[in-house]
Amino acid sequence: MVVSIIASYAVGDVLFLYASRFIGIPAALAIASCYPLWSALSGSFFLDQPLTFSIFLGSFLIVTGTIIVILSGYQTSIKVVRKSYFIGVVLAFSTSFFWALNVYAIGRGGSGLSVPAANIIRMSL
């Protein structure tokens, strides 16, 4: 549960805020929103959870839909320098990794606990 808090709030959200400064909130959120795919893949590789075609396709469609919705209202007046844009994209992908690590850590640390109990423990930390 400690890894969950560190991955989501201490690292993931901080990286997201920095990415937002470089490429804007909609772009950073659209990129970071691919974390469910990493979560599904880590569950398959490390927890022996089945990754069927329908689960992968469903995850992909949800992430794609989220990105489309976020970017549909994207208009920016921010002048983005190519180097800072690259840094922002890297930070946004790093955010997605840490958000996925959060999901994985909750899955491991919260196994055998009810959802309310796991959330109480997690938020207490």
Q: Report residue 125 as tokens.
A: 């930390």
Mean pLDDT by 10 residues, the chain (125 residues): 85 94 87 85 83 86 79 59 80 92 83 83 79
C-beta neighbour count of 30 within 10 angstroms = 20
Residue 78: per-residue pLDDT: 55
- CA 13, distance to chain mean position in Å, is 9
Res 19: pLDDT: 93
8 Å CB contact between 38 and 100 = yes
Q: Which residues, other chains included, contact 51 with Cβ-Cβ below 8 Å and sequence gap of 6+?
A: 40, 41, 43, 44
